[in-house]
Homo-oligomer: A and B are copies of this chain.
Amino acid sequence: MNPHIQPVPLEKAYRLLNHGPTVLVSSRFDGIDNVMAAAWACALDFAPPKLTVVLDKAVRTRALVEASGRFVVQVPTVALLDLTNEVGNRSLAEHPDKLPEAGVELLRLAGDTLPFVAGCAAWLECRLVPEPHNQASYDLFIGEVMAAWADERVFRDGHWHFEDAGPEWRSIHHVAGGHFYAIGEPMRAHGADE
């Protein structure tokens, strides 16, 4: 395994999403892998850490999540900008070779049951918390984070270090179409004591 990939304590896992990055959602069922982009993902709780993600009824990843009850939410970087845009625009149903065409490489972080996208800054392994009403009415899925990892070159000691990493490590934040913003400079509020 890439020696830069280190576990993140569960109580710090929310910090991987707290600043609102666009994420990749991946899942596997019955030998089928898929990866999609999602701007509508958000932390929901600290302990145990939970998150929400919106999965449209049209996306194939949703069926894999519902069937397997497991998924990964991962934080792509500027280096994966085109990949993120492509997996967000192409459907596995219409493009069976979507993942290799988009340049997705998968790695193994937690056994053989989930596809983790290589090159991301952080990964959150999730168990679906079934809420049929939310899923049916709002396309809203809740995941409990079972384990988390980050690349220590950009997240370590419980904090992002975008300012010390190369520009290719910045998280990306989708606006619309192919337009994103990279995360920018650190700010410290007056009187901040941490």
* Docked CA distance A35–B162 (Å): 30
Chain A 28-44 against B: per-residue CB contact (8 Å), 1 yes, 0 no?
Answer: 00000000000111111
**Does A8 count as interface, using CB distance less than 8 angstroms?**
no
The answer, among B19, B54, B85, B138, for a CB contact under 8 Å with A189, is B85
**Does A64 count as interface, using CB distance less than 8 angstroms?**
no
Q: Known contacts being A42-B40, A44-B138, A52-B42, is A178 close to B188, with CB within 8 Å?
A: yes
Q: CB-CB < 8 A to A84: which residues of B?
A: 189
Stretch at the interface among A111-119, A145-153, A166-174: A166-174
**Does A175 count as interface, using CB distance less than 8 angstroms?**
yes
**Does A78 count as interface, using CB distance less than 8 angstroms?**
yes
Copies of the protein in its oligomer: 2
The answer to whether B52 and A43 have CB atoms under 8 Å apart is: no
The answer to whether A19 and B39 have CB atoms under 8 Å apart is: yes
Q: Known contacts being A20-B19, A20-B173, A138-B142, is A186 close to B181, with CB within 8 Å?
A: yes
* Docked CA distance A191–B185 (Å): 27
* Docked CA distance A21–B21 (Å): 9
Q: How far is the CB of A3 from chain B (nearest CB, A)?
A: 25
* Docked CA distance A187–B22 (Å): 13
The answer, among B20, B50, B131, for a CB contact under 8 Å with A21, is B20
Q: Known contacts being A40-B42, A44-B40, A140-B52, is A81 close to B176, with CB within 8 Å?
A: no
Q: CB-CB < 8 A to A86: which residues of B?
A: 189
The 6 closest A-B pairs by CB, nearest first: A20-B20, A178-B192, A184-B184, A177-B194, A85-B189, A19-B173
Q: A19-B20, A177-B194 are known contacts; what are 11 more A-B pairs with Cβ within 8 Å?
A: A15-B176, A20-B39, A40-B43, A82-B189, A86-B189, A162-B181, A170-B184, A173-B173, A178-B189, A178-B194, A181-B184
